[in-house]
Chains A and B, each alone.
Chain A
């Protein structure tokens, strides 16, 4: 490259620079490190943004209960996370740092084909399919791609619904918990999270740390739950239609406190207590004299710093009857803890009243306790129409398929 071209390039860069609004002054400590004790070097694990060759996808490390098998369903999709399914069976998968949405279709021989459907978006993790339209939630941007399954090779220009949804921007979040999970409710509304704009702080409790729902056009915003620090997975009970969600506990309050949790929303607007309380646990810095019994209690505690993400009720028939309408939960795995926790999929078992009676391990083997390493990070679970289950592995860019044979 000639130096003249470089100079031209710089001139163009200056002229073409997007006019991003100046963020309000946040604390100069990076959000993830606020409250980190002196001397600690714990930090979030870096994402892998390059393709993991198939022979390095750690499907062989996966352990499951007797009768279950794991296979690689699709791979070569760096950063793959949330999954939504179209009426014709196309699977769409969101990401964070790499800014892509993938589309996965099945070939006649049963193998899969993956495409990079969309690129250059800011953390497009939230995906909802309504009819033939794919809704993409990229931080506060909401984009609707109509008739998408017929246009996988040439996606149409989206309808921009950002203004209608009016979600807080990345700047308003101060770069904290601004990515979205989104799902379609049985009432036809879109349910999503607005995570807290910090690790822990006195936040605007009408604006952040919420579960919210909208009409698909962005109107009719309703607060479904308050005081939920950050949920990146939710689903509605197939029988009771109640909203359930996973919730991440705060960082830097100890290796074993607070725990991540499972939230059951019995009525719209319930308050789960963040930042004051998580269950019966009073926050050591932000309790503000509140009695934790004021707040709704979590349906289950899911382990400290395990990073509970995608959750789905098992509605298929392939797995044994005991799994019907139980909740499969992906635990992406800890960084804010001396010893690794999570990196697995667990099952929350519900009794007839919808109370969680126990939480048991389902998919393990990705966490190496002896060497304190991990092989992959499960983020989403998705039940296919044949009753098999997909699990996305963000670190290795693969989707695993779990089947059962008696």
Chain B
């Protein structure tokens, strides 16, 4: 089958509807400096425990999550005041800004633990992470970049999915981490956070 070539041509081109709204990353940068930088970092790389890095995330991922916050479908109290009533244009501009920033690990990333790293790496295939997050684990569209993310944030987020206290735009992540132990989540979080 000559699937591969056709697929490459068909897919990601097809995924986007043709008229795209004009997002203004510069306007987003200005808003982010006042609203987001304190916690998420002025370069979009969080230095704060439990707060995710947003630099280099797919724009549609940020947009989707902000809308889930605004609509009350994803509940994080710290985000309520920032998302409440936020116009779509502001959300899209913020998303364009963060998507344009070069991704990278937080400054305070701890040293790699080779055994934990290997244990985490061994779970990536069996848990089918690459199916949605792509083999690079850099995400696409509404699916986030998970490499280089803060380890503490990844561990907590996966535990929330596992324990059914968080859903995403759909419930795929709840299924992906179901049944994993805390040490397994710790290993996955370590591996992902250490990948560049």
Contacts and interface: CB of A to CB of B under 8 A. Distances in A.
Interface of A: 1, 3, 5-6, 8-10, 12-13, 16-18, 20-23, 25-31, 33, 36-37, 39-43, 45-53, 56, 58, 78, 97-100, 119-120, 122, 170, 174-175, 335, 338-340, 368, 371-377, 395-396
B165 A18 contact: yes
A340 B13 CA distance: 11
Contact of B131 (A3, A30, A338, A396): A30
Contact of A50 (B9, B11, B67, B165): B67
B interface, size bucket? 35 or more
B24 to A, nearest CB: 13
Contacts of B171: 23, 170, 175
A389 to B, nearest CB: 22
24 contacts: A1-B81, A3-B39, A3-B48, A23-B164, A27-B175, A28-B126, A30-B128, A30-B131, A33-B128, A41-B12, A43-B132, A46-B15, A47-B142, A48-B17, A50-B92, A97-B64, A98-B67, A99-B73, A170-B171, A175-B170, A175-B175, A372-B9, A372-B10, A373-B16
Interface of B: 3-4, 6-19, 21, 38-39, 48, 50-51, 60, 63-64, 67, 71-73, 75-78, 81-82, 88, 91-92, 126-128, 131-132, 141-142, 160, 163-165, 167, 169-172, 174-176, 178-179
Given A119-B71, A175-B170, A175-B171, 18 more contacts: A9-B78, A13-B75, A16-B77, A21-B164, A30-B172, A30-B175, A31-B172, A46-B141, A52-B19, A53-B21, A97-B169, A99-B71, A120-B73, A174-B175, A338-B7, A372-B9, A373-B14, A374-B14
A169 to B, nearest CB: 11
A29 B14 contact: no
A119 B67 CA distance: 11
8 cross-chain pairs, A with B, having the tightest CB-CB distances, nearest first: A9-B78, A175-B171, A20-B164, A9-B77, A50-B88, A46-B141, A17-B165, A120-B72
Given A13-B77, A50-B91, A41 B11 contact: yes
Contacts, number: 166
Nearest to B18: A373
Contacts of B10: 338-340, 372
B171 to A, nearest CB: 4
B63 A50 contact: yes
Contacts of B38: 1
A9 B72 CA distance: 15
B96 to A, nearest CB: 12
A18 B160 CA distance: 11
A174 B10 CA distance: 29
Contacts of A9: 76-78
A33 B131 contact: yes
B165 A6 contact: no
Contacts of A3: 39, 48
Contacts of B64: 46, 49, 97
Given A6-B78, A46-B141, A23 B175 contact: yes
Nearest to A32: B172
B126 A22 contact: no
A374 B17 contact: yes
Contact of B178 (A28, A33, A36, A375): A28
A45 to B, nearest CB: 5
Nearest to B91: A50
Given A30-B176, A46-B142, A119 B88 contact: no
B71 A100 contact: yes
